[in-house]
Chains A and B, each alone.
Chain A
């Protein structure tokens, strides 16, 4: 088990090491200005020195991402179920959901603040708007991909429509829904950045996105350090959801040979 974890983490660690080494060498040899491209060791120092500042801002951003994703999941799953169960809903809602993805969200973000104030809510709406779509699409497809004989079998056992859904369609769609959430989460981190940089916030800590924007001109290495934190956060979230999927839908990883 332990050696398994090492074997799994090692390639990414080696690749990161190689890239950081190349970066460090490039900064050394090319003499690029430090406020354009700080060397990795400078960024690392900033991570250490600015730790508590970054951490507090990170906590703000993490809360936004997690709550925003929860909101996106709730909306995405509810819409997917409605679209799956009702052809009318599919015709009514699906095109609008697609269209919503073309809305220039940074512009909307500003308006949302006028509407709902400086709190966290407008940011959650921005993140959810960006994140619900992959969840919606993968869940709709997952629900449609259920083996049609399974609901039929349930009908022979006198299942109601709800029970067909509960025993066959819902579990069949679960792995797809979680995959959608994994995609959503990674773009949700960028969503939080957009939300923070387009909507002003009251309070001392406005999130990593705002911190990065503030630092980029005068404290470049701290902006890079903030980016490193977001980078790590996205990775951690992605694999946490992968773990959750193994827990919630273990059958999706069974040998594929049994779909007789």
Chain B
């Protein structure tokens, strides 16, 4: 169990076994199970024999009903938890949690630069790098704003910048747009794709929104209700940007929803 979780080490293409064999696997989860104890001490299965993977630069979306262990999966990938069974091989991964968790005592730019400060980059230098990213991602003008002055969409953008600046290869996004209204969500979905085209990363995106998954991802893994297992895996080889009214998108969405429904009824 728990073989070869690669974390913290700066990756060099020559020495890293994950890089040596094509395809370039950044996230590889095989047969992973995980349970936890609830308040009354009963064991609840969160994940059951989950296998999935993401290659370098891919966007893998994981959809499933609430409580199917999606957050647990991300915490496993980020090394915050260890699996009870199965194995996990992941490049260093950073988590963007469901709540943005911006620190109210720091400005937007300082929040984004948090990982740099933790890595002992001097303050001014860290700010410069974060400000540069802000300019790239269309956040200029908000550097000095404090979190409470920002809209929900802006907060998510800052939280995403913080995740990017962690310098990790893999970004684990936990329902990043879940709390936003429909218009802002659509706006941020486009923004995320733009940001990733400028700052390419491997992304594991957890969402309960099937349409969001299909619009953004290269592959969608559908999880069953608790304990979560992968009940379908859809390859989505469509050009971006994708339109939600596109017949192929609609068809994929129906298929995914059907699988989800069957999973719930079982």
Instruction: List chain A positions with a Cβ less than 8 A from chain B.
Output: 147, 149-150, 152-160, 163, 167-168, 171-172, 174, 249-251, 254-255, 257-258, 260
A153 to B97, CA, bound (A): 8
**Residues of B contacting A174 in the complex (Cβ-Cβ under 8 angstroms):** 105
Checking B95, B103, B114, B166 against A171 with a beta-carbon cut-off of 8 angstroms, the contacting residue is: B103
User: Quick one: given A156-B94, A156-B95, A157-B115, are A255 and B148 in contact (CB under 8 Å)?
Assistant: yes
**Residues of A contacting B183 in the complex (Cβ-Cβ under 8 angstroms):** none
> Do B166 and A251 have beta carbons less than 8 Å apart?
no
> Do B101 and A254 have beta carbons less than 8 Å apart?
no
> Do B114 and A167 have beta carbons less than 8 Å apart?
yes
User: Quick one: given A149-B99, A260-B99, are A154 and B104 in contact (CB under 8 Å)?
Assistant: no
> Do A171 and B105 have beta carbons less than 8 Å apart?
yes
**Residues of B contacting A258 in the complex (Cβ-Cβ under 8 angstroms):** 104, 147-148
User: Quick one: given A149-B97, A260-B100, are A249 and B148 in contact (CB under 8 Å)?
Assistant: no
A39 to B220, CA, bound (A): 85
> Do B166 and A157 have beta carbons less than 8 Å apart?
yes
A149 to B96, CA, bound (A): 12
The yes or no answer to B54 lying at the interface (CB within 8 A) is no
The yes or no answer to B264 lying at the interface (CB within 8 A) is no
From residue A155, how far is it (CB to closest CB) to chain B in Å? Answer: 7
In chain B, what residue has the closest Cβ to A248? B105
Checking B101, B104, B118, B179 against A158 with a beta-carbon cut-off of 8 angstroms, the contacting residue is: B118
Of the A-B pairs whose beta carbons lie under 8 Å apart in the complex, a sample of 28, sorted by A's number, is: A149-B101, A150-B103, A152-B97, A153-B101, A154-B114, A154-B118, A156-B78, A156-B94, A156-B95, A156-B97, A156-B166, A157-B94, A157-B115, A157-B166, A158-B118, A158-B119, A158-B166, A163-B118, A167-B103, A167-B114, A167-B117, A168-B103, A171-B103, A251-B146, A258-B104, A260-B99, A260-B152, A260-B179
**Residues of B contacting A257 in the complex (Cβ-Cβ under 8 angstroms):** 148
> Do B94 and A251 have beta carbons less than 8 Å apart?
no
> Do B148 and A147 have beta carbons less than 8 Å apart?
no
- Interface of A: prevailing SS: helix
From residue B78, how far is it (CB to closest CB) to chain A in Å? Answer: 6
**Residues of B contacting A254 in the complex (Cβ-Cβ under 8 angstroms):** 104, 146, 148
A188 to B192, CA, bound (A): 55
In chain B, what residue has the closest Cβ to A260? B99
**Residues of A contacting B104 in the complex (Cβ-Cβ under 8 angstroms):** 251, 254, 258
From residue A251, how far is it (CB to closest CB) to chain B in Å? Answer: 4
In chain A, what residue has the closest Cβ to B159? A153
In chain A, what residue has the closest Cβ to B78? A156
**Residues of B contacting A158 in the complex (Cβ-Cβ under 8 angstroms):** 8, 115, 118-119, 166
A258 to B166, CA, bound (A): 25
From residue A98, how far is it (CB to closest CB) to chain B in Å? Answer: 30
Q: Which of B34-76 contact A (CB under 8 A)?
A: none
The yes or no answer to B237 lying at the interface (CB within 8 A) is no
**Residues of A contacting B105 in the complex (Cβ-Cβ under 8 angstroms):** 171-172, 174, 249, 251
Q: Which of B77-130 contact A (CB under 8 A)?
A: 78, 80, 94-95, 97, 99-101, 103-105, 114-115, 117-119
Name which of B100, B101, B114 has the most chain A CB atoms within 10 A of its CB: B101
> Do A147 and B101 have beta carbons less than 8 Å apart?
yes
Checking B80, B152, B179 against A156 with a beta-carbon cut-off of 8 angstroms, the contacting residue is: B80
**Residues of A contacting B114 in the complex (Cβ-Cβ under 8 angstroms):** 154, 157, 167
A110 to B118, CA, bound (A): 50
A156 to B179, CA, bound (A): 22
A78 to B119, CA, bound (A): 26
Checking B80, B101, B152 against A150 with a beta-carbon cut-off of 8 angstroms, the contacting residue is: B101
> Do B103 and A155 have beta carbons less than 8 Å apart?
no
A254 to B106, CA, bound (A): 13
From residue B174, how far is it (CB to closest CB) to chain A in Å? Answer: 11
